[in-house]
Structure 1
Amino acid sequence: MISEEKKEPYFIQFKKDILEILKKGKYKTGDKIPSENEFCESADVSIRTVRRALLELEKDGIIFRRQGRGSFLRTLETKKENAIKGTICVLFSDIEFITRPSFSTILKGMEAACNKLGYHFNMQAIGMRFGKNINELKALGDVLFMKNINGFIISSPVKKEDIQFLRENNMSFITFHKYKGLNVNALSPVNFELAAEIGIEYLAGCAHKRIGVISGYENTSDEIILGNDIFVKTCAKLISEHGIDAVMRTSDYTEEDGYRIANEMLKLAKPPTAIFAVDDLLAKGAVKAIQEEGLKIPEDIAVLGCNDSLNDSFLSSIRMPLFNHGKFAVEILHSLITKNEKPTAEYTEKPELVLRDSTEINKKRKSA
């Protein structure tokens, strides 16, 4: 019997109730079981709860369905522990966002963890639909629930009403953002503060006195995931402490923007002797602009990227643990779904400086 005092979601409770009904009713393989409406009426539960419970039973191989005919008993023996447990869905703002190498690396980590733990991996671009109004929100909810979603990873910020909607439907979820006044399981971001510190300290140690920093646009929702805002603040702070001249520019995380901004920097009366970019795509664009000007890298100008996501044998970069961060997100959500333990959303793996030809020679600047 469903109870609010139990910690399990309603559909899991009712799934167990259906199993008891089937066992006590002496159903045999191939027998038709009660319909969704019959379960609703007899147990006084919502149609959504019944549908999710039946989807769980179908996933476990207990029942099978025939369109227009109903649901039938397959077996009362449960599957092995390594069977598919359901689906984990990642919600993000738009399709363009997942094409960025940095975020796509996070997604690959999520998918790997889903495969290991026995979940299907699903991605959903929410755009303006999620939370636009309550009717559209519930309509999207119906679609997602029909896909047998066990939990959500919310990578883009949503409204408080959206969070409440998921809670009312007993959905497990984690977010990449904190919400004022709401107690949510917010995953700690990858440590871009330390990445910025590693990069600036390295370039300062190479005796660079004028550094160009290319970042993403500040205070935008998705850039919070990729650590842009804290990256900018840390770079500015350390550059000031070292007494280094800085050229700070914002961008749209594309190779084209990196190319455009680097060209602008090179045309300055005092161009930088090093460029540090928040993403490798920006750094790659900067490399192209510098080479087209006939300048040598790193003799004339050094280039340092961040994320190490392009498999570029020339570009020095700060290797971020993005793949493992994605895996960690799924592991946290799995703990919430299974109620195995109280998870901690604090991620501790550190960035690492990877030196290649785009900066390495500048170690000699101190003695030059």
Structure 2
Amino acid sequence: MRVPFYMQIRQYIMDHIQQGKWKPNDKIPSENELAEKFQVSRITVKKALDALVEEGIIYRIQGRGSFVAKKEDSEHIIYPNNVSQQNSSKLIACIIPRLNSQFITIMMSEIEKLLAQHGYRVILCQTYDSQQLETQILKEVLRLGVDGLIIYPAEGETYNEEILKLTIEKFPLVLIDRYFRGIGANSVCTDNVLGAYEATKHLLELGHTKIGIVSSIPEGTTSIEDRIKGFEKALTEYNIPIDHRLYLLDLHLTLEEHDHINKDKIKNFLSNHRDITALFLVNNGLTVIEAALEMGYTIPQDLSMIMFDDYEFSHLHKVPPTCIRQQETLLAQEAVKLMISTIENPLQKRQQIFVPPKLIVRSSTDVCQTSTNQHVD
């Protein structure tokens, strides 16, 4: 993903200041000079300079131009060599979409426990999958003087300017569960391609060839996009044609008020695709199982299902689901390890860490009974 021009200009100015090429009270190039150098409009340059003025990095004098601020006027600027354990507030902000699943709860609990062992306290904030709220929270916790950020990005989010800015400035930051394509930020994620591949392979080895896939909207959420990629990779390796008619990819997020809408979509999808003998559930797994049972399907005899993610007491469910279980504890350990390492050395090379998930076979998958599902409501 291309970095916006105004961010490139901003980083160019920051680099010159941090490297000592431009010292306090030095005049920086004019808007016209920067516009010509970067081949952009003055409006783009002005946006970059306005951001730097707001952060206290530069100041303007009407009719004279823009100048580098004095050190005491810009102490809040995030410079790589400013992070030290001696001045540390020992505070980490964890920003998550919502605390509504076993996966997130276990992972956050482990992160809090491990950070406490390193002497850090945790601020936990929920964005409810709102990028606007995520940006607002980021600014608020930075004003509190946190030493680092662990961020579980909002669903559907492809890019966040604040996160890009912090990454460029080498602020200690780790993304979990998802990452942003084109932004070289630290991240710790489940290997979603591998997990989806193993899930689909499990169904294929049971003899299923008409396999549907059910998901919320994938665009902008790397975890979902990667699971679809893994699903298609397995089909291709087994020489099964990819049939997009067997894709249902527009379910809502897992909220109670959307359950009836999701169930209607699922029931309509199953009614229109009687030849499906198995489903790979990217998310919203329980809702799909409930909808199928309400239609009179017997699982797994009529329809095998495998879901990504486990849930609490799943083994006690009417149909204990076969699933791909993410290793929440290991994800938390890797995230904290990378967080501490980045605080101690903000200039280190950024890392993308992928943790393999586990296949857990229960009662919702079985050998394919027939090539065509003859079930009637």
Instruction: Output the CA distance in 1 between the equivalents of 2:232 and 2:167.
Output: 39
- Matched with 2:90 is 86
Q: Deviations over 1:257-311 (max 9, x none)?
A: 65334312331252421111112xx221121112222221111111111122333
- Matched with 2:359 is 353
Select the residue among 333, 338, 352 that pairs with 2:339: 333
Is the CA contact (8 Å cut-off) linking 1:88 and 1:119 kept in structure 2?
A: yes
Matched, 1:114 2:141: no
Tell me the TM-score normalized by structure 2.
Answer: 0.62
- Give the 3 Å change call, closer, same or farther, for CA 234–266 of structure 1 in structure 2: same
Matched, 1:247 2:256: no
- Give the 3 Å change call, closer, same or farther, for CA 122–208 of structure 1 in structure 2: same
- Give the 3 Å change call, closer, same or farther, for CA 167–198 of structure 1 in structure 2: closer
Tell me the percent identity. 16
- Give the 3 Å change call, closer, same or farther, for CA 275–193 of structure 1 in structure 2: same
- Give the SS at the match of 1:187: strand
Q: Highest Rg: 1 or 2?
A: 1
- Matched with 1:268 is 272
Instruction: Output the CA distance in 2 between the equivalents of 1:340 and 1:312.
Output: 41
Matched, 1:319 2:325: yes
Between the two structures, name the one with larger relative contact order (CA 8 Å, sep ≥ 6): 2
Q: Deviations over 1:195-245 (max 9, x none)?
A: 11101111011111211211221222xx22xx1001112213432443266
Instruction: Output the CA distance in 2 between the equivalents of 1:308 and 1:321.
Output: 10
Instruction: Output the CA distance in 1 between the equivalents of 2:352 and 2:163.
Output: 24
1:362 partner letter? V
How far did 1:339 drift?
2.9
Matched, 1:199 2:204: no
Give aligned pairs, total. 280
- Give the 3 Å change call, closer, same or farther, for CA 104–260 of structure 1 in structure 2: farther
Structure 2 gap ranges (5+): 1-16, 21-69, 78-82, 372-377
Moved more, 211-220 or 262-271: 262-271
2:94 partner letter? V
2:91 partner letter? T
Instruction: Output the CA distance in 2 between the equivalents of 1:340 and 1:173.
Output: 9
- Matched with 1:232 is 228
- Give the SS at the match of 1:288: helix
- Give the 3 Å change call, closer, same or farther, for CA 326–4 of structure 1 in structure 2: same
Is the CA contact (8 Å cut-off) linking 1:206 and 1:365 kept in structure 2?
A: no
Tell me the TM-score normalized by structure 1.
Answer: 0.63
Instruction: Output the CA distance in 2 between the equivalents of 1:243 and 1:322.
Output: 32
- Give the SS at the match of 2:362: coil
- Give the SS at the match of 1:298: coil
Moved more, 209-218 or 266-275: 266-275
- Matched with 1:123 is 124
Instruction: Output the CA distance in 1 between the equivalents of 2:212 and 2:262.
Output: 11
Structure 1 gap ranges (5+): 7-42, 51-55, 63-83, 132-136
Is the CA contact (8 Å cut-off) linking 1:150 and 1:337 kept in structure 2?
A: yes
- Give the SS at the match of 1:243: coil
Is the CA contact (8 Å cut-off) linking 1:85 and 1:118 kept in structure 2?
A: no
Superposition map of 1:32-71 within 5 A = 45-46=72-73
Instruction: Output the CA distance in 2 between the equivalents of 1:364 and 1:269.
Output: 16
Is the CA contact (8 Å cut-off) linking 2:95 and 2:149 kept in structure 1?
A: yes
Q: Deviations over 1:43-72 (max 9, x none)?
A: 96248559xxxxx9xx99x9xxxxxxxxxx
Instruction: Output the CA distance in 2 between the equivalents of 1:179 and 1:228.
Output: 13
Instruction: Output the CA distance in 2 between the equivalents of 1:267 and 1:162.
Output: 43
1:310 partner letter? E
1:212 partner letter? G
Is the CA contact (8 Å cut-off) linking 2:108 and 2:332 kept in structure 1?
A: yes
Instruction: Output the CA distance in 1 between the equivalents of 2:368 and 2:271.
Output: 25
1:306 partner letter? F
Instruction: Output the CA distance in 2 between the equivalents of 1:266 and 1:164.
Output: 45
Select the residue among 259, 265, 273 that pairs with 2:263: 259
Matched, 1:149 2:146: yes
Is the CA contact (8 Å cut-off) linking 2:188 and 2:335 kept in structure 1?
A: no
- Give the SS at the match of 2:196: helix
1:273 partner letter? T
Matched, 1:296 2:279: no
- Give the 3 Å change call, closer, same or farther, for CA 229–44 of structure 1 in structure 2: closer
How far did 1:101 drift?
4.5
- Give the SS at the match of 1:362: coil
How far did 1:356 drift?
0.8
- Matched with 2:47 is none
Matched, 1:309 2:311: yes
Instruction: Output the CA distance in 2 between the equivalents of 1:236 and 1:166.
Output: 32
- Matched with 1:39 is none
